[in-house]
Amino acid sequence: MPTALRLSSRQLDTILRHARAWKPEEACGILAGNGDGRVERVFPMENVEHSSTLYMMDSQEQFRVFDEIEREGWQLVAIFHSHPHSPAVPSARDCELAFYPDSLYLIVSLMDDALPELHAYRIVDGEVEEVDIFVDGNRLEPPGEGG
């Protein structure tokens, strides 16, 4: 199971573009890659709920993506979604619907459009633990921390 999420700045851009395009609705998608959390491919997905507070991936689309991940020999590294109007903290429903204990969960907050906030979590049996995010090898500092 990945202990950190490792993205390139280009992959981060893809995630942010997807999140912004769906605002004011939540956006969602899948990050596929390696066991150490290194992402190889970003799969932006449709949020079939079309909601500003909920997301649900299209099951057919999800099936096709999981099939491609298997063919490429990758793993499911993370499931990501956006919070258009709230912090990057898992909601009670996010925890309930965290069906993949081996996956990380990345949440992008667009509360502040100019400064999106990203946090990644492991969610197992309702237990939430934050994990580090690395972009181009540098640990992402949450706003207000460090400096």
Interface with Zn ion by CB under 5 A: which residues?
91, 94
Q: Which is nearer to Zn ion, 3 or 51 (CB)?
A: 51
User: DSSP states of the chain as a string?
Assistant: --SEEEE-HHHHHHHHHHHHHHTTS--EEEEEE-TTSBEEEEEEE-BTT--SS---B-HHHHHHHHHHHHHHT-EEEEEEEEESSS-SS--HHHHHT---TTSEEEEEE-SSTTS-EEEEEEEETTEEEEEEEEETTEEPPPTTS--
Based on the residue annotation, tell me whether 46 is a catalytic residue of this protein.
no
Q: Nearest residue to Zn ion, using CB?
A: 94
From the candidates 26, 68, 70, 130, give the one annotated as an active-site residue: 26
Q: Shortest gap between Cβ of 103 and Zn ion (angstroms)?
A: 14
Q: Which is nearer to Zn ion, 7 or 27 (CB)?
A: 27
Q: Shortest gap between Cβ of 140 and Zn ion (angstroms)?
A: 19
Q: Which is nearer to Zn ion, 89 or 140 (CB)?
A: 89
Q: Shortest gap between Cβ of 6 and Zn ion (angstroms)?
A: 22
Q: What are the residue numbers of the active site?
A: 26
